[in-house]
Amino acid sequence: MAPVVNGKFIFAKPLQVGELAELGKTAVYDSSETINLDTVALNGSFLAKTLVLAIDPYMRGKFRDPAIKSYTPSFDLGQPISGFGVAVVLRSESDAFKPGDHVYSNTVSYAHYWVPKDTSPFTIIKNEIGLPWSTYIGVLGMPGQTAYVGWKEFSKAKKGETVFVTAAAGGVGSIVLQLAKRDGCRVIASAGTDDKVAWLRALGADVAFNYKTEDTRAVLQREGPIDIFWDNVGGETLDIGFEFARNRARFIECGMSSYKGPNPYRLKNQFFIVGKELSVNGFIVLNWLWKYGTSFYDEFPRLVKSGEIKHEEDFTYGLEKVGEAMQEVLVHGTNRAKKIIVVASN
Amino acid sequence: MAPVVNGKFIFAKPLQVGELAELGKTAVYDSSETINLDTVALNGSFLAKTLVLAIDPYMRGKFRDPAIKSYTPSFDLGQPISGFGVAVVLRSESDAFKPGDHVYSNTVSYAHYWVPKDTSPFTIIKNEIGLPWSTYIGVLGMPGQTAYVGWKEFSKAKKGETVFVTAAAGGVGSIVLQLAKRDGCRVIASAGTDDKVAWLRALGADVAFNYKTEDTRAVLQREGPIDIFWDNVGGETLDIGFEFARNRARFIECGMSSYKGPNPYRLKNQFFIVGKELSVNGFIVLNWLWKYGTSFYDEFPRLVKSGEIKHEEDFTYGLEKVGEAMQEVLVHGTNRAKKIIVVASN
């Protein structure tokens, strides 16, 4: 077969501290190379075709200068970025993977076709329950696992307690909201558009509000105090959370999206940690899957299939549109739900 | 017997937010009243004579306007302040207390003689081991209990781990340092005078430094990363701790003395809580004595008597000197060790 164009989405220019990803500069779509799918060397690995990719908030930090260390490796300058995705194996020299297998990992390349140097991060998805591949990078992937792990490990939720979930319409927050309701908690949930707020109500939030048009402090003063704070945003919202926390409240630190921008908010209410005996715990989901991965995959696919756990996806079609999708998720927050890039249908 | 002068140390003027206690204004010594020890009405309570009192950092917050709520009640305006102390019972109408009993609580009045309205906070100290009464408000009192509870509940210490103790020469910090060494940890300890630093070395600190003359950041950069941060001060030191914490470090939030002054430091490094999976726990010792009080009193008096746990006390003699002692502890930090007011010897 003749060589085909192999489009890629390439990391082109590192972000400075506080700088926002810029369309067409930070990373760019490149279709200058071709690949011969029949003859490309595998070197003991496999040839993969990308089906779906997830744009997640954690990716922001990976567009940094590779010289700067952090808890997650940076992307490689001049190379395709990578992330959670599902691909199908076209050819294989590995005993562990055969053509037709669907593989999942957080190292799926933002390219149409690619040969992984390291096959160890990949797991084969059987999908016997017959869910769309996109669910495996959303509600059944890292975001769903993040919600599950953080809630099980740190919430210490008791029936009737009040939970505040920020960025509650996101891939993580929307699952946290539902887990909290399943545990009998009262849920206050915030999001940044009225559409999202309507969805929070549909998911069962007892109080849902648009933090851009309604004052978070006023809402928590009226609806608090809170026993559990699920923090996806950090910043001033975290300070307000400290203020309206009940004694012995649990703060689950999942993300701090407020760190985008040049002048991140500086906390002033941390003294409540002592006076209210607060517990504040950060976590990275990948470090907890040894403990919760099995029970998650035992429970969650069935709950998703039955509709007991609801989820939404906001699709962008085509690898060449990744730049626009990243702007929605990482800069403007205008994605309507979990952002999925559909690269190919099979 | 004729009435005797009953000196009292009276709360005279509330502090505004960030204001420092002022000598002769915030609280004042008053010797205008007398008391007849033979005839004063007991109303079912007892008449107590104060022996020793502790000046502790937590008292700062109690000099506030009583209208402002906080985790600890304010002092009563126009009345003697109160705190941890030991008193001897002179007369009693209560079956639970008899003349000659030595009583301990955190509600001992800063008066020579007084009749408590509520006797329930008082416990009788048997002191069969024969330690000075002052030890029961220092190493065997709230400060020692605080160190013990926080360390046992939150440190999750493992042999060989690195611990950073701030305000390590204080009543709490000096015990934490020793508990950490007993658990096989490497201890970095800071204090604010060279005399205190010398004492930290004598207590076994592996690294001891004067934070006023040596840069905390440089020390932690050289001697870190740290696994456990015992936080008595908050503020910028806490930010530096976040920066030089190892993954999964434990932050034990015992106090935030940096909150004195009009412009408390605002944190900027809290995003490390997520990226390093930090655990940050505040606590109030009185809420944990149900769990640790018995084992503390089983272990600690013996360790103090044998010298296995060392402690120092910095005495001020006379109730009329409480103002000066408070300046040392609450404003200048010039007390050399745990501050004890010796009101009477027996």
Which among A86, A115, A94, A81 has a CA at the least distance from the CA of A11?
A81
Average pLDDT of the segment spanning A323-337: 88
Give pLDDT, residue A261: 60
Contact A110, A319 (CB under 8 A): yes
**How many whole angstroms separate alpha carbon A107 and alpha carbon A76?**
12
Distance (Å) from the alpha carbon of A225 to chain B's nearest alpha carbon: 15
Tell whether the model's pLDDT for residue B260 goes beyond 70.
no
Region of residue B305 (left: phi > 0; alpha: psi -120 to 50; beta: else): alpha
pLDDT for B305: 94
- Tell me which of A250, A280, A284, A285 to substitute to probe the interface with B (most B C-beta atoms closer than 10 Å): A280
Angle (deg, nearest 10), helices B216-223 and B235-243: 20
| pLDDT tens per residue, range A54-64 | 998 889 889 99
Look at residue A257 and tell me whether its pLDDT is greater than 80.
no
Question: Are the Cβ atoms of A266 and B264 closer than 8 angstroms?
Answer: no
Is it the case that residue A143 has pLDDT exceeding 60?
Answer: yes
Helices (H) and strands (E) in chain A, counts: 8, 17
As given in the structure block, the two tokens for residue B309 are: 């746990």
Q: Residue A157 pLDDT > 90, yes or no?
A: yes
CA–CA dist A87, A102 (Å, integer): 6
Question: Could you report the per-residue pLDDT of A10-51, keeping only the tens digit for each?
Answer: 999 998 877 888 888 999 999 999 999 999 999 999 999 999
Please judge whether A267 and B264 are an interchain contact, meaning their C-beta atoms are less than 8 angstroms apart: no
pLDDT band at A345 (very low <50, low <70, confident <90, very high): confident
Contact B253 A274 (CB under 8 A): yes
**A209-to-A161, A175, A220, B145, B175 alpha-carbon distances in Å:** 19, 17, 11, 44, 48
Inter-chain residue contact A274 with B281, CB threshold 8 Å: no
Asked if A292 contacts A152 with a C-beta cutoff of 8 angstroms, the reply is: yes
Q: What is the mean pLDDT of residues B29-42?
A: 96
Domain extents in chain A: 4-138+312-342, 142-286
Residue A310: other Cβ atoms inside 10 A: 16
- Residue A279: pLDDT band with limits 50, 70, 90: very high
Q: Give chain B positions within 8 Å (CB) of A282.
A: 272-279
Q: Which helix (H) or strand (E) holds A75?
A: none
State whether CATH 3.90.180.10 applies to domain B4-138+312-342.
yes
For residue B259, pLDDT beyond 70: no
**Residue B335 pLDDT class (50, 70, 90 cuts):** confident
Of A1-5, A67-71, A227-231, B15-19, which has the strongest mean pLDDT? A227-231
Q: What pLDDT shows up at residue A260? A: 55
- Judge whether B257 and B232 are in contact, CB under 8 Å: yes
Residue A121 to residue A106: CA distance in whole angstroms? 7
Secondary-structure class of domain A142-286 per CATH? alpha beta
CB count within 10 Å of CB A217 equals 15
| Least Cα separation, residue B253 to chain A (angstroms) | 6
C-alpha distances out from residue A121 to A60, A340, B237, Å = 21, 21, 39
User: Mean pLDDT, to the nearest integer, of A106-128?
Assistant: 95
Chain A residues at the B interface, defined by Cβ less than 8 Å, are 70-72, 234, 238, 247, 253-256, 259, 264, 266-268, 270-284, 287
Distance between CA atoms of A338 and A315, rounded to whole angstroms?
8
Q: What is the pLDDT of residue A20?
A: 82
Would you call B283 and A270 a contact, using CB atoms and an 8 Å cutoff? no
User: How many whole angstroms separate alpha carbon B217 and alpha carbon B276?
Assistant: 18
Cβ-Cβ contacts under 8 Å, B238 against chain A: 270
pLDDT on residue B21: 86
Q: What is the mean pLDDT of residues B42-54?
A: 97
The tens digit of pLDDT for each residue in A283-295 reads 999 899 999 999 9
Confidence class for position A273, pLDDT limits 50, 70, 90: very high
Q: Quick check: B89 and B45 in contact, CB under 8 A? A: no
Helices (H) and strands (E) in chain B, counts: 8, 17
Residues of B in contact with A238 (CB under 8 A): 270
Residue B271 is nearest to which of A247, A259, A276, comparing CB atoms?
A259
- Rounded to the nearest angstrom, the minimum Cα separation between B151 and chain A is 15
Facing residue for B266 by CB, picked from A72, A268, A277? A268
Residue A255 pLDDT level (bands cut at 50, 70, 90): confident
The DSSP secondary-structure symbol of B327 reads I
Rounded average pLDDT over B296-306: 94
Q: What is the mean pLDDT of residues A136-140?
A: 94
Q: What is the ipTM of this complex?
A: 0.82
Confidence at A259, pLDDT banded by 50, 70, 90: low
Taking an 8 Å cut-off on Cβ atoms, the answer to whether B71 and A255 are in contact is: no
- The single-letter code of the amino acid at B141 is G
- Which residues on chain B are in Cβ contact (under 8 Å) with A280? 273, 278-281
**Which of B273, B279, B282 is opposite residue A276, by nearest beta carbon?**
B282
Q: Given A256, A272, A281, which is nearest B271 (Cβ)?
A: A256
CA end-to-end span of chain A: 19
- Asked whether B242 and B269 are in contact (CB, 8 A), the reply is yes
Please tell me which of the candidates A256, A267, A272 has its beta carbon nearest to residue B274. A256
The stretch B213-222 carries a mean pLDDT of 98
Amino acid at B140: L
**Nearest-CA distance from B72 to chain A in Å?**
8
Give the contacts of A68 (CB within 8 A, at least 6 positions apart): A74
Cβ pair A140, A129 in contact under 8 A:
no
CB-nearest to A273 from B70, B247, B253 is B253
In chain A, residues with a C-beta closer than 8 Å to the C-beta of B247 are: 71
Nearest CA in chain B to A70: B275
Task: Say what the pLDDT of residue A240 is.
Answer: 97
Contacts of residue B91, defined as CB under 8 A and 6 or more positions apart, other chains included, come to B37, B42, B46, B47, B99
In three-state secondary structure terms, A183 is coil
pLDDT tens, position by position, A171-182:
899 999 999 999
The mean predicted confidence, pLDDT, of chain A is 93
- What span, in angstroms and rounded, lies between the C-alpha atoms of A56 and A65? 19
